[in-house]
A and B are shown apart, each in its own frame.
Chain A
Amino acid sequence: MPRYLLTRLIVLVTQAFLVLTLVFVLFRLAPGDPAKLILGPTATPDQVDRLREQLGLDQPVLSQYGHYLGDIVAGNFGRSTSYSQPVLQVISGHLAATLVLLATSLAIAVTIGVAAGIFSAIRPRSVFSKGTLLVWVALLAVPNFWLGMLLIQLFAAKLHWLPAIGATGAAGVVLPAIAVAARLVALIARLTRASMLETLGEDFVRTATARGVSPARLIFLHALKPAAPAILTMIGMQAGYLLGGAVVVENLFSYPGMGQLLLSAVSQRDYPLMQGITAMFVLGFLLINLVVDLLCTRIDPRTRPLAGAR
């Protein structure tokens, strides 16, 4: 395991390096002079020169690239032009909010998705099982921002159960988290159902039933365990959707997270901040997939590369 972890970490660092390079290239593709764009048409040539110098744009591209990578390793993502603060400092407060939102979404998606999947797999011909399959098809067609609007309309405007837009505290997370989680709930429920139906038909399950293993133990230990790696892999595959969903849903709910910050950076033409946030999102994507891989090898030893095998 430690050896596997080490190789996986080396892969992660290489990927991170490549992706950060891609972020750098992406932002150098911007047409025109970023300094001029940031300052707007009223800026004097003097001001533009000073900002160019501050952003390091007066140096050759390769040296800019070297500084960029070196700074990131040192934990410096540059200076936000709209906040006049280091990018990392601007990001840190919003990062926590987005992590809370994503963690809540994941918790909702896994709990409801797995529970619904189990119930519909136990009684595959029941009304519940068939009905939920239709619900999942419908849910996969609903965009998260529209679902968010429907939730606000129902729970905040009509029923007054939950605060709507711009709410702080735990109650303010619930509706945005549901909006982000919905698609994942549908995907996880379908996957759990399919995987459990397959496992429940296998010989070892029949043997276990014959041996007198209790139904609860049978479901959670024998039938659910094989579904776990598939569910984890699904979460890894949907990581991009989760992070992107946060951008859109945060905007609807005025939720003070990274997505909101990205959009405010876009409207302020704050390139250093945009670059820092993009880098964070991509690193987050890589980290989620690392955790998924590690958990999968934990649960299912077959996915672990053999020791010493090349």
Chain B
Amino acid sequence: MSVQSTALGRVRSLPSSLLVGVVIVAVVVVVGAAAPLLAPYSPTKLHLLDALQGPSLAHPFGTDALGRDLLSRVVYGARYELSVIVPVIVLVTVVGVPLGMVAGYRRGWTDRSISFVSDSVLTFPAMVLAVVLVAIFGSGYLSLVVTITITQVPQMVRYARGFTGGVAAAEYLLAAKASGTRALGTLARHVLPNIAGSVVVVASLFASEALLVITALGFLGIGVQPPTPEWGTMLSEGRQDFTTSPQVMLFPGLAIAVLILGFNLLGDGLRDVVDKRNN
């Protein structure tokens, strides 16, 4: 217990996947926030004479077909990815969790109708739904955020419904019900705090799914439009040259993979912590 009581000891007792995940995500957040300070060049300014240079001291990640510095573009890309992921996760949680909680708590026709709608949306492969929604509503920033939110909300509803069902039979809920607490109050005061941990775990895994969809849409050329330095869009722009100048796909792709890894490790680590606390 004495080891646990110091702050350092408490950090040490956390799963290593959680620590690695937190570090990766934190680094990407800082890089995105401080992009103008960290990027050595402008992410969009053309230098056609310096096109397709391999990594060097002047350009650590090399340059793309238009001579833009890839390091600067990857750094600014972090900012763009996060500016989509953060609102998506907030929206998915704010919309999905209450719906799932109501479905899991009220049961009956409320549950059936909420589950019915979310299960129907789930039969659309997320990527296909995203492509169609972007085709219909355009690829502006708002449209992208809403599109990715729509593909994820039904899953959040399903998870939150399951978590709520798991605690709905607990004695403290029966006590709350018996003492006349209204359903809404019970959900907010007794259910939400008890499922919050599991919701956070799911949300961090959704973040990596959201990143996959944004970058895939960018890669298909129907998401974020050039010259915005979005990682998937950068891969798409590099399609002509990547076999001869691998740097145009290596670094943006690596950035995507590292951030997804960060979110996944964060989620896995948080799950271990939440599971341990629940038992």
Contact = CB atoms under 8 A, between A and B. Distances in A.
* Chain B interface helix/strand/loop/mixed: helix
A5 B126 CA distance: 28
A31 B133 CA distance: 11
Interface in B244-265: 244, 246, 249, 253, 256-258, 260-261, 264-265
What band does the interface of chain A fall in when counting residues whose beta carbon is under 8 Å from B?
Answer: 35 or more
* Chain A interface helix/strand/loop/mixed: helix
B132 interface: yes
Interface in B226-246: 232, 235, 239, 242-244, 246
B257 A146 contact: yes
Contacts of A157: 243-244
A22 B257 CA distance: 34
Contacts of A153: 242-243, 246, 249
Interface string B193-204: 000000000000
B136 A27 contact: yes
A113 to B, nearest CB: 18
A278 B135 CA distance: 12
Contacts of A137: 261, 264-265
Contact of B124 (A143, A150, A240, A274): A240
B131 A247 contact: yes
B219 A145 contact: yes
A278 B125 CA distance: 9
A307 interface: no
A141 B126 contact: no
A59 to B, nearest CB: 21
Interface in A143-168: 143, 145-146, 149-150, 152-153, 156-157, 164
A135 interface: no
Contacts of B121: 22
B131 A262 contact: yes
A61 interface: no
Nearest 7 CB-CB pairings of A with B: A244-B127, A146-B253, A141-B261, A240-B125, A157-B243, A244-B125, A243-B125
Given A145-B235, A247-B128, A281-B124, 16 more contacts: A15-B123, A19-B120, A26-B132, A143-B256, A149-B253, A239-B125, A241-B126, A243-B127, A244-B125, A247-B131, A251-B220, A262-B128, A266-B132, A281-B125, A282-B123, A286-B123
